[in-house]
Every structure is written in structure tokens, then in C-alpha cells.
Amino acid sequence: MAIMQETKYIWKNGKFIAWAKATTHILSHGLQYGTGFFEGIRSYPTPEGETIFRLQPHVERIFHSAQALGMKLPWNKKQIAEAIIATARKNKVSDCYIRPYAFYGYQKVGPNPADSPVDMIIACIPLKDYLKRDFIKVTLAPLARIAPSSAPHGTKISGMYYHAALSGLYAWKRGFDEAIVLDHKGYVAEGAAENLYMVKHGKIYTPPADTILPGITRDTLMTLCKDMGIPIQEKRLTLKMLQDADEVFFSGTAVELHSIGQIEKKKLPRKNPITKELCAHYMDVVHGKVGKYKRWLTWI
Ligand SMILES: Cc1ncc(COP(=O)(O)O)c(C=O)c1O
């Protein structure tokens, strides 16, 4: 996993401050109870300059996560979008991972955050390859994903990411690159922080949206597959189906598209023609080389 590189400025509550000054109190509610949420967005260089990919759905998800936490952000969607663009512009970095994060500050004792102050930051760091190896090795995480009835769907609430953290740690300790997690019914759900796909006989299958975080990259791929004539279908998947697949890959804003070369001890075929074709097209789209999808780009 990539090491975080510092940049100059962080947007905090409407103002730019130096990276080193972006601190908070140790008793902040968000730190104690995980009552914050984050977003992960990418910018890419294009022939016409640096752009942010699919900013609008990320802004929508920011407000969805805030609402799930009962958090009232003192900015509207347009102001948050402008703040994200301004942060990327001010830091003058290319190929950047943008991290908005909002959390309850400290005020009261106990887990109910009602009336607590809200702090929001936007940071921006250079990020090229999230995963270093080409065909990664994945293992099955010991803990199933948080059940849909126990977490607000489609949000990126920080507290929920203890699960991704433990899954990743488990994989790393066993010499794997990443973990895949089962849902509460024992079907394969996704990666620790990535959506998951398998290809069999020329068709892509991916778990239904109800037990996963239905990613923005996943949504992008659904559209691209339709245009490219690659059949893609939601389906409950088992570990055995993945291990018998022709191709298996992850998607996500950070990971982009990444082929999986091994699941537990089972080595997978490495030709991966469909993943390669889709990945090449995705990278062309994010880099502004496909006219039709320039509508997904916001110029910095
Ligand atoms: C649990 C989980 N699944 C899937 C994804 C992929 O989502 P996206 O494509 O919106 O980055 C992420 C990343 O945010 C994630 O944390």
C-alpha cells in the first residue's frame, strides 16, 4: 500500500492551513467513537489539464454519509465541490488522491454526538499505484462484512472501517496483498475496500449492491461494459466460483482496476483479456481520452 506523501495545504472548515497544522483534540468524538466519514476521490492529468473524476457522485456520497450520522454540514453541495477543486488547485499536484473527512469534535461525554461541533477537512495527496504488485494475492478475511441491517448502506463512516483495517492487517500478516470478505450470509461480498468481479466464459459477474459498498467505480464500469458490449450481471458469488473463474479483479477509486492472480492457495489464469480491455478503456476515460465521457471530468 502506498505511503502518504505530504502536500502543502489542507482545507479546514473553509480556510487553507499548512499540512502540519491540521490537528485536532485527542478527545474528539470522531476519534473516540468513529463518528466521522470520509470520501476518496481522484484527479488525473488529461491533454487539457488536471481534472477530477466523477466529482458529483462523490459529493452526493459525502452528503449521504453526513445524513446517516445525523451530521449537519454548514456547507452545501456546490460549496463542498468548489472546496475540493480549490484544494486540488492550490496544492498543484497531479495524479492526486483527494480525501474529504468530516467528524464530530469534542463537547459531551458519551457516544451520543447530538449538538457536537463538526469539523471538516479536505486533503490532497499524490497517488499513482495503490497496490504495487500486478497480479495480487488475496486471502479470505476471518470476519464477515458488517450486515446490511447493522450499518447505513452506501456510506463511508469511519467507525465501520475497523473491518477493512482488520481484514487488511490479517492479509498482510499472512503474506497476502489484500483480503476479500464474505457477507453475513456467506457469499463473497467485496474486497476490504474494493468491489469485486469475476469473469467466466466472457461474462462479468459481481455481487449485488445490497451487501457491499456500491462503488462509484463500479457504477462507471457498468456503463463502460454496456457501451463496450461486455455482458455484466449482478450475482451472488461463492469463494469456489471465484477460484474457478477465468479472471478476477477489484475496482475502486484508489485501486482503479486490479487483477487478482491468486485466491488463498489457488493460482488463477493470467491472460485476463476482458479485465485488460476494460482497464485500458477505464484509464483512457479517466485521462480524458474518450470524448463521450468528458462529462465525468471536472477541470481544476
Ligand atoms: C468497502 C468498499 N468497497 C468498495 C469501494 C470502492 O468504491 P469507489 O469505487 O466508490 O471508490 C470502497 C472504496 O471507497 C470501499 O471502501
Do 203 and 152 share a domain, yes or no?
yes
Judgement on whether residues 108 and 153 belong to the same structural domain of the protein? no
Is the Cβ atom of 214 under 6 angstroms away from ligand 1? no
Rounded to the nearest whole angstrom, what is the distance from the C-alpha of residue 213 to the centroid of ligand 1? Answer: 6
Residues 86 and 178 in one domain: no
Please indicate, yes or no, if residue 298 is contained in any of the structural domains. no
> Facing residues of 46 across strands?
49
> Could you give the percent of the chain with pLDDT greater than 90?
94
pLDDT at 3 over 90: no
In sequence order, what are the beta bridge partners of 181? 190
Residue-wise pLDDT tens digits, 100-124: 999 999 988 899 999 999 999 999 9
The count of domains in the chain is 2
**Mean predicted confidence (pLDDT) in 129-145:** 91
Specify whether 79 is located in the same domain as 35. Answer: yes
Q: Is the pLDDT of residue 12 over 90?
A: yes
Q: Residue 134 — φ and ψ, nearest 5°?
A: -70, -60
2 lies in some domain? no
Check whether residue 155 and residue 185 sit in a common domain.
yes
Q: What is the CA(64)–ligand 1 centre distance, in A?
A: 14
DSSP assignment string, 231-290: -EEE--B-HHHHHT-SEEEEEETTTEEEEEEEETTEEPPS--HHHHHHHHHHHHHHTT--
CA-derived radius of gyration, the chain:
19
Beta carbons within 10 angstroms of residue 68's beta carbon? 16
Q: Average pLDDT over the chain, rounded to whole?
A: 96
Residues 106, 212 within the same domain: no
The pick from 195, 216, 221, 258 for probing ligand 1's pocket by mutation, whose C-beta has the most ligand atoms within 8 angstroms, reads 195
Residue with CA nearest ligand 1 atom 4:
194
CA-nearest of 186, 177, 230, 176 to 207 is 186
Domain end among 59, 93, 126: 126
Q: What is the pLDDT of residue 132?
A: 72
Q: Sign of the CA dihedral 62, 64, 70, 75?
A: positive
Final residue before a domain boundary, out of 93, 126, 159: 126
Q: What is d(CA 49, CA 111) in angstroms, rounded to the nearest whole number? A: 45
Q: Phi and psi for 156 in degrees, rounded to 5?
A: -120, 60
Residues involved in catalysis:
156
Do residues 282 and 197 share a domain?
Answer: yes
CATH of the domain at 247: 3.20.10.10
| Nearest-CA residue for atom 15 of ligand 1 | 193
Same domain, yes or no, for 210 and 230? yes
Q: Quick one: 149 and 119 in the same domain?
A: no
Residues 142 and 221 in one domain: yes
Residue 156 and residue 260 in one domain: yes
- Do 41 and 34 touch, CB atoms closer than 8 A? no
What domain range includes position 279? 136-286
Pocket flag, ligand 1, residue 216 (CB < 6 Å): yes
| Among candidate residues 126, 157, 172, the one where a domain is terminated | 126
| pLDDT-derived band at 97, boundaries 50, 70, 90 | very high
Q: What pLDDT score does 237 carry?
A: 98
